[in-house]
A and B are shown apart, each in its own frame.
Chain A
Amino acid sequence: MSSIHLKALTKSFGNFEAIKQMDLMVRDGEFLALLGPSGCGKSTTMNIIAGMEAPSTGRVFFDERDVSDVPMTRRGVGFVFQNYAIFTHMNVRANLAYGLRMRGVGPAEIDRRVAAIAEFLQLTPFLDQPSAKLSVNILQRLAIGRSAIVEPAIFLLDEPLSNVDAAFRAVMRTELKHLQRQFKQTMVYVTHDQLEAMTMADRIAVMDHGVLQQVGTPLEVYNNPANIFVARFIGSPGMNLVPATLVERDGALLADLGAAGASRPLEAGLAAAARAAGAREVWFGFRPEGVNLAADGQGLAVTITFLERIGSRTIVHFDAAGTAGKAVFENDVPLAAGTVAQLVPADALVRLFDRQSGLAIGGA
């Protein structure tokens, strides 16, 4: 077991700054997701932890040990790649046993551990099959099993579920999370899929353009995003952001939504934070799920542009005076495309972001 500490890390490729100054602590036994869109620097960060890339500046520590100059093979890191890296000339059993054989583990111990990991990953029926002809779903489990079997102190996974089908992905999310909770490896999981990060991670490190945007538990980043990037990126759909101006009226602080509708009074804590920050031009943020329908003049006046019914949910697409947004309802809602509706976000779920900096006001 081991913690990972990245100190003042930077990485440039020529003129391209893949990572601009990053400090990150992954706790011992923690499942941390590195989340961001493609090109955000998450895979580079992982490659530096693994020792596949050297940082341009900064240091990498495992516990108190500086491993910046330790080669990959001696870092004790298990790595699962997007493209599996399975030995196709070996059967499933030999692939699973490979890491243990290389470490000189005895045959009885190898058999025991292969049987255990195969059972856990539901690979037992395939143990004697050649790996060249396995389905993608089974290959993926095999790739995870092959790394997990050597019980590395640190387990790194780079988009391991990106090629498997949706139903199996959902199952693997649960199983990976369960595996990590049982064995308590320090796990770093790279993904562009906020759903994977939310469902599995103890904490999420959100990255964009080589900069760490926020580190927090899934519900912290969902409930209190640090900035508008995180607000939009986390959640499915992401947070709605409508431009608003804060105005004092009769001792209360209101968010004036302009042409989009009535002024909304702010909840006391948020109003205090906004006053303290001297905020005026803001993004008025609310989650698509925390929305109710209201009578005329009570809320955000929106034109419904499109309705999507997906199973038991309905996603309502709307336009609020030129700003596109979404609201999610359970089951059917009495709304039709082309009509005007009044939406009211639940006060406790409203978040404000500075229009200039994009940073959250209060909360985060």
Chain B
Amino acid sequence: MAAIEFRSVSKRFGKTMAVDDVSFRIEDGEFFCFFGPPLSGKSTILRLILGLERPDAGEILFDGRPVTEVGPAERNVAMVFQNLALFPHLTARGNVEFPLRERKVDAATMARRVAEVAEKLHIGHILNKLPAHLSGGERQRVAIARALVRDPVAYLMDDPISALDARLREETRVELKRIQTELGRTLIYVTHDQEEAMSIADRMAVLEAGRIRQIGTPTDVYDRPESDYVARLLGSPMINILEAVGEGPQVRLAGGAIALDGAAVPAGTVRVGVRPENLALREGSDATVYEVEPLGSFTVVTLTAGDERLRALLRGQPQVVPDSRVGLHVDPAKLHFFAEDGRRVAASAA
């Protein structure tokens, strides 16, 4: 078991700063998620933790001990790959035993270790089956068992369930979270799927171009994004980021179409974020309905107001007619204010 810490770590590939002055501390037993778009540095951070890459600058510590010079084998960090990478010709047992066989562990120890992880992961009854005969969730468990059998200090997963279809992904991520909670091991998880990150992480780091833009619990990051960049990455449909027009209490959004109904807009605000679930429709003619998308439990309404396109997420199945004019209302308590450089501006105390 280990706490994993980066102190000002950088890694350059050619002209690209893949990881740029990154610092964080992942606590022992934590489910920690690196989240960001492709090429934001997530996978490079994993490779640095594994010891597959050497940092150009900075220090990596496990439990306070520098490991920058320690090779991958001695770091004892296990990796579960994107495609699970189970050997199709080996049974579940054969797959789980594999890392121990590689290390020439004796038969009695091997049997004991396999029995232990099989019990933890509830796969005792499927050990004699081939991967082809297992469900997606069972394969996942076998892959994790194979990672765990070495008793690693932490295990890493690089987008492990991205290949599954939406429904199965929703089931599997819950399963993963349960397994991690039961095992209590440090799990470092990379994903580009915001819903997955929010669903399973204890804490998450949001990355952009090799830099960490924000670290926090999913709720913190969703409710208090520190930049419009982070705000845009979390939530579906995406947050509306609208140009603020006017000054002080007269500030309006979307080319003047939306009044803020007395919200205290802090000085320095250039853009205002409104989550689709905080935008309501009412009688009026602030905006034109562009498209209506029913989801059953929700309805997504895309609107045009001024020069901007915005989205409202309405509960239930309201009747909204495409091309009609509607009024808009935002809850002043649920606004996010951003400055010219994209950083969050704290709401006024008033």
Q: A192-B165, A308-B199 are in contact. Are A177 and B295 (CB under 8 A)?
A: no
Residues of B within 8 A of A177 (CB): 291, 293
| Contacting pair A312 B275 (CB below 8 A) | yes
Among residues 196 to 212 in chain B, which have CB atoms less than 8 Å away from a CB atom of chain A? 198-200
Complex: A223 Cα to B295 Cα, angstroms: 11
| Contacting pair A170 B238 (CB below 8 A) | yes
| Contacting pair A310 B195 (CB below 8 A) | yes
| Contacting pair B300 A199 (CB below 8 A) | yes
**8 Å CB contact of B178 from A173, A195, A306:** A306
User: Which of A167, A238, A310, A330 counts the most chain B CB atoms within 10 A?
Assistant: A310
Residues of B within 8 A of A218 (CB): 294, 296
Residues of B within 8 A of A193 (CB): 165-166
Residues of B within 8 A of A236 (CB): 166-167, 170, 295
Min CB distance A305 to B, Å, is 8
A237 in contact (CB, < 8 A): yes
Residues of B within 8 A of A328 (CB): 297
| Contacting pair A167 B238 (CB below 8 A) | yes
B285 in contact (CB, < 8 A): no
Min CB distance B350 to A, Å, is 25
B83 in contact (CB, < 8 A): no
| Contacting pair B195 A178 (CB below 8 A) | no
B128 in contact (CB, < 8 A): no
Residues of B within 8 A of A37 (CB): 165
Complex: A198 Cα to B222 Cα, angstroms: 26
> Which residue on chain A has the smallest CB distance to residue B323?
A181
B236 in contact (CB, < 8 A): yes
Number of residues from A at the complex interface, CB < 8 A: 39
A317 in contact (CB, < 8 A): yes
A93 in contact (CB, < 8 A): no
Min CB distance B181 to A, Å, is 9
Number of residues from B at the complex interface, CB < 8 A: 39
Contact with A along B289-317 (1 / 0, CB 8 A): 01101111100101000000000000101
Complex: A165 Cα to B37 Cα, angstroms: 9
Among residues 190 to 213 in chain A, which have CB atoms less than 8 Å away from a CB atom of chain B? 192-193, 195, 198-200
Complex: A170 Cα to B194 Cα, angstroms: 14
Residues of A within 8 A of B275 (CB): 311-312
A-B pairs under 8 A by CB, number: 91
Complex: A287 Cα to B170 Cα, angstroms: 17
A222 in contact (CB, < 8 A): yes
A289 in contact (CB, < 8 A): yes
Complex: A200 Cα to B322 Cα, angstroms: 13
A58 in contact (CB, < 8 A): no
Min CB distance A41 to B, Å, is 17
| Contacting pair B297 A287 (CB below 8 A) | yes
Complex: A328 Cα to B316 Cα, angstroms: 13
Min CB distance B14 to A, Å, is 18
Min CB distance B99 to A, Å, is 29
> Which residue on chain A has the smallest CB distance to residue B193?
A166
| Contacting pair A237 B170 (CB below 8 A) | yes
> Which residue on chain B has the smallest CB distance to residue A288?
B297
| Contacting pair B237 A235 (CB below 8 A) | no
A309 in contact (CB, < 8 A): yes
Complex: A74 Cα to B90 Cα, angstroms: 51
28 A-B pairs with C-beta separation under 8 A: A165-B37, A170-B236, A174-B290, A174-B302, A178-B291, A192-B165, A193-B165, A195-B166, A199-B293, A200-B293, A218-B294, A218-B296, A219-B294, A219-B296, A219-B317, A222-B296, A223-B296, A223-B317, A234-B296, A236-B167, A237-B170, A289-B297, A308-B177, A310-B199, A311-B222, A311-B275, A312-B277, A328-B297
Interface residues of B (CB under 8 A from A): 37-38, 165-167, 170, 174, 177-178, 192-195, 198-200, 218-219, 222, 232, 234-238, 275, 277, 290-291, 293-297, 300, 302, 315, 317, 322
19 A-B pairs besides A178-B290, A199-B300, A312-B275 with CB distance below 8 A are A165-B37, A166-B193, A166-B236, A167-B238, A170-B238, A181-B291, A195-B295, A198-B293, A218-B296, A236-B295, A289-B296, A308-B177, A309-B218, A309-B219, A310-B198, A311-B222, A311-B236, A311-B275, A315-B199
Which are the 9 A-B pairs with shortest beta-carbon distances? A222-B296, A199-B293, A289-B297, A308-B199, A310-B198, A174-B291, A174-B302, A311-B235, A312-B277
